[in-house]
Homo-oligomer: A and B are copies of this chain.
């Protein structure tokens, strides 16, 4: 788990960046969109749309809006979808965004605790897979599952 300073005041340069690219594609900078992106920038872990709704509770943001916003942000490359295999989507700040970085997850099979993992597969493995089958633009998804220390002790 990496610690990080919780800047309540987001960096102005970054802020302008996404607002600009959103406007360029005839999108509008609304309060909901700002709140959602700020949340994901501040809390560097995967959030389900429901998590986001709960976190923004006082602002009462509709789930449909959250879904639409996340889809838009995904297209803009601001956030990325994380799939931990439990049938619900999660989103976190994109790895190519300021503050984001390429990583994977280790999930407790029992309590669903999520730990960020910075290790990765050898780059050579991915390129070999791509080459051997003639695929292009190959990416990978790697997640680990196990029993966390707490659950081992039957807590």
Binding site for B on A (CB under 8 A): 83, 85, 87, 106, 108-109, 115, 117, 119, 121-122, 125-126, 128-130, 133-149, 152
Closest-by-CB residue of B relative to A121 is: B121
Distance between A55 CB and nearest chain B CB, rounded to angstroms: 23
- Report the Cα distance A137→B147, complex, angstroms: 6
Say yes or no: B142 contacts A140, CB within 8 Å: yes
- Report the Cα distance A109→B135, complex, angstroms: 10
Say yes or no: A142 contacts B142, CB within 8 Å: yes
Say yes or no: B119 contacts A128, CB within 8 Å: yes
Say yes or no: B137 contacts A144, CB within 8 Å: no
Say yes or no: B129 contacts A138, CB within 8 Å: no
One of B85, B129, B146 near A135 (C-beta < 8 A)? B146
- Report the Cα distance A20→B39, complex, angstroms: 53
Say yes or no: B147 contacts A129, CB within 8 Å: no
One of B85, B136, B145, B148 near A146 (C-beta < 8 A)? B136
Say yes or no: A140 contacts B134, CB within 8 Å: no
Say yes or no: A125 contacts B119, CB within 8 Å: yes
- Report the Cα distance A132→B141, complex, angstroms: 20
Say yes or no: B119 contacts A148, CB within 8 Å: no
The 6 closest A-B pairs by CB, nearest first: A135-B146, A138-B146, A134-B149, A83-B85, A136-B147, A142-B142
